Chain A
């Protein structure tokens, strides 16, 4: 157990629907990162939050949004889902800001859009 908790582990939904993925970071970690992993693209950065504030944005689609709550858990909202959104979605947390603090990843949410 890495200490980063993601729910649900699996999600199957239809095109056009909306889903919410949840992430609880390691205790004390202020930064949360969301990544998407598909077979051909590898891990793609979506968005980062630090202590409730958005800090960095990757190639996140406008249909996707996220937030980090006062208790530091984060949610990634995916709407108007398309078949191409099927992927593994990972959340990672980080304790410090210096490079030696590697990210700790959760076990991911596998999203299947049918």
Chain B
């Protein structure tokens, strides 16, 4: 069973059409939830870290929020350059566990 699930798998938006990506996790409690952006053939690029329910972080057109069981990445008025795969990763509370990644949402923004 996947511990970190992202939806949708792919999303196609018109330029300026706002939407949200979802990341849900199955374990109780976490030490941190991370959002990354990945362009084709490149390494993931760190965007945000969230620690506790109710926390929000913003960067340009992106806003990440966290509840007890899921996180949302809101994209406001996206531009074509926002096209990428967005990855969610969770650091679980037990021991020295590495980040567990979801499979990502592939976002395409059409001009």
Contact B44 A43 (CB under 8 A): yes
Interface string of A46-58 (1 = CB under 8 A from B): 0010000001101
Q: Would you give the 0/1 interface string for A17-34, flagging 1 where the beta carbon is closer than 8 Å to chain B?
A: 000000000000000010
Q: Interface readout for B72-111 with A: 1 if CB under 8 Å, 0 if not?
A: 0000000000000001010100001111111110000000
Closest B residue to A55 using CB positions: B96
The one of B32, B49, B101 that contacts A43, using a Cβ cutoff of 8 Å: B101
Q: Indicate if A70 sits at the interface (CB-CB under 8 A).
A: no
Q: Which listed residue (A42, A99, A106, A110) contacts B32, Cβ 8 A?
A: A99
Interface size class of A (residues with CB under 8 A): 20 to 34
User: Could you give, for residues 32-74 of chain B, a 1 whenever the CB lies within 8 Å of some chain A CB and a 0 otherwise?
Assistant: 1010100001111110010100000000000000000000000
Q: Which of A96-111 contact B (CB under 8 A)?
A: 99-100, 102-108, 110
> How far is A45 from B89 in the complex, measured between Cα atoms in Å?
11
Bound-complex Cα distance A105 to B96 (A): 19
User: Could you say which residues of chain A place their CB within 8 Å of the CB of B44?
Assistant: 43, 90, 103, 105
The one of B32, B43, B98 in contact with A58, judged by C-beta atoms closer than 8 angstroms, is B98
Q: Indicate if the CB atoms of B49 and A107 lie closer than 8 Å.
A: no
- Report whether A100 and B49 are in contact in the complex, using a CB–CB cutoff of 8 Å: yes
CB of B12 within 8 Å of the partner chain: no
* B45 interface neighbour in A42, A100, A105, Cβ under 8 Å: A105
Contact between A45 and B98 (Cβ–Cβ < 8 Å)? yes
Residues of A within 8 A of B51 (CB): 99-100
Indicate which residue in A56, A90, A92, A100 contacts B97 across the interface (CB closer than 8 Å). Answer: A56
In the docked arrangement, what's the CA distance between A104 and B46, Å? Answer: 7
A: which residues have CB within 8 A of B? 2, 4, 33, 35, 41-43, 45, 48, 55-56, 58, 88, 90, 92, 99-100, 102-108, 110
**Chain B residues proximal to chain A, CB less than 8 Å:** 31-32, 34, 36, 41-46, 49, 51, 87, 89, 91, 96-104
